[in-house]
Structure 1
Amino acid sequence: MIIEKLLALLTLKKVANLGDNSIKRLIREVGSAEEVLTEKTSNLLKIDGIGTVKIKDLHNPQHRKAAENELKFIEENNINYQIYDQEGYPEKLKHCIDGPVVLFSSGNINLQHKKILSIVGTRKVTSYGAKFCEELIETLAPINPIIVSGFAYGVDIIAHKTAIKHRLQTVGCLAHGLNQIYPKAHKKYVAQLEENGGFFTDFWSTDAFDRKNFLGRNRIIAGLSEATVVIESADKGGSLVTAEIASSYNRDVFAVPGRVDDALSKGCNMLIKTQRAHMLTSAADLIYMLNWELDEKEQPAIQKQLFVELEQDEKKIFNFLNKNGKEILDVIALQCDLPTFKVASVLLNMELKGVIKPLPGKLFEVA
């Protein structure tokens, strides 16, 4: 029964030294969360990676009582929950070794068959960072991505607000339970966000806001998406941690470059310099690297315009494709005598104008 499974998982989550990875390992070996709680300690200790320290507190009756109280909160407040090995749990998060065994959510989140992008950055965002974030999401809007962030000050809330402005689904990952909102100043955005998107957390109603929770929150931000974008970061900070987590999950990481003497660009510049992130100068870079294409149902968002005005470089590329048929970006750049990075941007603009369309294999052709 699903409620018994949930209650058993919540009980295991209260065991001080058992993390999500260890809980999953125990369940794989024993059979179920319920059986883990009734299995002999001697048998559990035979499992690789499970020692006395991890399970010494396993049978504390207070854990079950705490789990029952949290289950009551979940039921009384109609909290949605997803269990890691069941349908409805975020697909990309399933592949993260330390993904939450139970994920709580609110709102109307639908991650099925969607392009998902996490955007993070400093809380002290500059006008440069804010402008880049807004323009990035605005340009990506026709592709209809889901925008994930941490609902914090700075880059996070700009990403959420811009997604809402362009009617994109957006997901806020919280470092506390769903019975509170931090920062309080962002309560005014909750209803809008839940209307087309919502919130994820694996923290309980009894978990007070604490900065040490950011690490747990950041793994969800990184794990939900195909790629993580860092927009402005000092040489230390949570955004860099999120980038490292995303990289450990084998996800693409992008960083926005800045001036070498800007304190809030040091983190991004370091990620690029050490080849831990792709340099991101425009939405075209991201679309090219991720090989994102418009789904058929999204095609009407970009309609071919009659008598569309083309810039000089756009005309050059259009004429080449019109004469030679479909071709990859690198060949287009070579034959049109244009830098590859510029062609990527020009192709995106042409796609938005409806005069070309992307094909599988990073090919492009006249629409």
Structure 2
Amino acid sequence: MTDNEIVAWIRLQRIPGVGPINGRRLVQCFNGVQNIFSQSVRDLVQLVGVGPVMAERILNHTYQREAENQYRRILKDGIQCLSLSDGAYPGLLKECPDAPLILYQKGPLTFSGRYLLSVVGTRSMTDYGRRVCEQLIKALVPYNPVIISGLAYGIDICAQRTALKLGLDTVSCLGHGLDTIYPARHARFVPEILQKGALLSEFGLETPVEPMNFVRRNRIIAGVAPATVVIESGPKGGSLITADLAFGYDREVFAVPGRSTDRFSTGCNLLIGKHKAQLLSSPEQLVDTLQWSAAPGNSQDFTQKIRSLRQGALTPEETRICEFLAANGIQVLDEIAINCRLSVREAAAVLFQLEMKELMRAYPGKRFELTG
């Protein structure tokens, strides 16, 4: 995307009352985000059906200046701006009708080709909840998933800290701008998260910490991954909102059951009873449902196989691709080419050679994985 296009997306998202659904409709109607702002009030009213007050607001240049200032700041802070038209925008989230028009991301993680799992729960975590959370994520290490949560107290931060300790990537979805960390005491975990993971938010810089923003944030947690696990929840709360959203997006929802007398098992038991979540009895159940296969980067035998082939049977280009996929799991062709410093045509040719050597497996959608 060009700088002007990014600014146009930021401008559209900043206009009060537009929202993600109407914003997407405007972009589609005028065949591109920049074209929206070259229309007249009459065109907007007649072609899209927005009222004259909203049309005036859309064309108000105040939001253009705000967007330009925002873009300068995010560039200075090393923040990416991912719009719905950006290939790096999380693919599953893009399918949601109310997906944010833009996402602000800090950190190197790419979503394409990765196993993604959202883990949420109560802020008032019990010892039982902590043990279940840690044991679940530890059991998933061979599959190298990205653990997604909200950096909140309780289950959220337990899931993310456990992921970090076990060498897994993690993404924190925030309900405010990326220039703020809430709760502040969790800021000490951010540098480690940013080494390979990411912070993610739809809110621009200087967006204050407000309760309703965290409700909006929950739809990102629910929509970005194919599955959400709820570990402990009271009868009300943000984790149940996230589970309801995931259920509405036709995602897999799992809930950890508990005794009927345990307050923080009430929400999970309700989700199971209403058939909005599967009763999660074991990590193997989750893996089977999601049809995950173990990441070859966690196989010592396969790593040794690469090392031995490197002595003469692998070219430098083949070695780079093998090492990249060993570390990152399933990846699409474009990501492989970019990260291995090859053209798309060169990468495709190398991947074919690796497939002939039985080191590579190809999937629909130009996705590739090392064979274990």
Which amino acid in the other structure matches residue 192 of structure 2?
A: Q
Partner of 1:276: 276
Partner of 1:157: 157
Residue 46 of structure 1 deviates from its aligned partner by 3.4
Which residues of structure 2 form unaligned runs of 5+?
304-362, 364-371
Partner of 1:262: 262
Residue by residue over 1:10-46, the C-alpha shift from the partner in whole angstroms, topping out at 9 and shown as x without a partner, is 1112221101121111110111211111212222223
Partner of 1:148: 148
Structure 2 CA distance for aligned equivalents of residues 42 and 49 of structure 1: 10
Name the SS for the 1:236 alignment partner.
coil
Structure 1 contact 17–55 (Cα < 8 Å) conserved:
no
Residue 175 of structure 1 deviates from its aligned partner by 0.6
Structure 2 CA distance for aligned equivalents of residues 242 and 55 of structure 1: 33
Structure 2 CA distance for aligned equivalents of residues 46 and 298 of structure 1: 57
Partner of 1:103: 103
Q: Which has the larger radius of gyration?
A: 1
Which amino acid in the other structure matches residue 194 of structure 1?
A: L
Residue 22 in structure 1 maps to residue 18 in structure 2:
no
RMSD over aligned Cα atoms: 2.0
Residue 77 of structure 1 deviates from its aligned partner by 1.4
Structure 1 CA distance for aligned equivalents of residues 22 and 189 of structure 2: 36
Which amino acid in the other structure matches residue 242 of structure 2?
A: T
Partner of 1:357: none
Cα 1:287–1:168 shift into 2, 3 Å: same
Cα 1:39–1:21 shift into 2, 3 Å: same
Cα 1:119–1:54 shift into 2, 3 Å: farther
Cα 1:129–1:77 shift into 2, 3 Å: same
Residue by residue over 1:173-207, the C-alpha shift from the partner in whole angstroms, topping out at 9 and shown as x without a partner, is 01111111111100110111111211111111121
Please list, as runs of the form range in 1=range in 2, the aligned pairs for 1:200-219 lying within 5 A after superposition. 200-219=200-219
Which residues of structure 1 form unaligned runs of 5+?
304-359, 361-366
Identical amino acids, percent of aligned pairs? 38
Cα 1:221–1:302 shift into 2, 3 Å: farther
Partner of 1:194: 194
Structure 2 CA distance for aligned equivalents of residues 111 and 270 of structure 1: 31
Cα 1:49–1:224 shift into 2, 3 Å: farther
Cα 1:47–1:118 shift into 2, 3 Å: farther
Residue 34 in structure 1 maps to residue 31 in structure 2:
no
Residue 268 of structure 1 deviates from its aligned partner by 0.5
TM-score by length of 1: 0.79
Residue by residue over 1:147-182, the C-alpha shift from the partner in whole angstroms, topping out at 9 and shown as x without a partner, is 000001100000000000110011000111111111
Residue 84 of structure 1 deviates from its aligned partner by 1.1
Structure 2 CA distance for aligned equivalents of residues 99 and 251 of structure 1: 15
Residue 82 of structure 1 deviates from its aligned partner by 1.3
Which amino acid in the other structure matches residue 74 of structure 1?
A: I
Name the SS for the 2:103 alignment partner.
strand
Name the SS for the 1:223 alignment partner.
helix
Structure 1 contact 142–301 (Cα < 8 Å) conserved:
no
Partner of 1:172: 172
Structure 1 contact 149–156 (Cα < 8 Å) conserved:
yes
Name the SS for the 1:105 alignment partner.
strand
Cα 1:248–1:211 shift into 2, 3 Å: same
Structure 1 CA distance for aligned equivalents of residues 63 and 145 of structure 2: 40
Structure 2 contact 142–295 (Cα < 8 Å) conserved:
no
Which amino acid in the other structure matches residue 254 of structure 1?
A: F
Which amino acid in the other structure matches residue 193 of structure 2?
A: L
TM-score by length of 2: 0.78
Name the SS for the 1:285 alignment partner.
helix
Cα 1:47–1:235 shift into 2, 3 Å: farther
Residue 224 of structure 1 deviates from its aligned partner by 1.1
Residue by residue over 1:115-143, the C-alpha shift from the partner in whole angstroms, topping out at 9 and shown as x without a partner, is 10000000001000010000000001111
Residue 297 of structure 1 deviates from its aligned partner by 4.8
Structure 1 CA distance for aligned equivalents of residues 300 and 143 of structure 2: 11
Name the SS for the 2:140 alignment partner.
helix
Partner of 2:353: none
Name the SS for the 1:46 alignment partner.
helix
Residue by residue over 1:221-279, the C-alpha shift from the partner in whole angstroms, topping out at 9 and shown as x without a partner, is 11110100001111110101101111111110000111111111111100000000000
Structure 1 CA distance for aligned equivalents of residues 301 and 93 of structure 2: 29
Structure 1 CA distance for aligned equivalents of residues 302 and 184 of structure 2: 38
Partner of 1:249: 249
Structure 2 CA distance for aligned equivalents of residues 280 and 54 of structure 1: 47
Residue 282 of structure 1 deviates from its aligned partner by 1.6
Structure 1 CA distance for aligned equivalents of residues 138 and 104 of structure 2: 29
Structure 1 contact 18–55 (Cα < 8 Å) conserved:
no
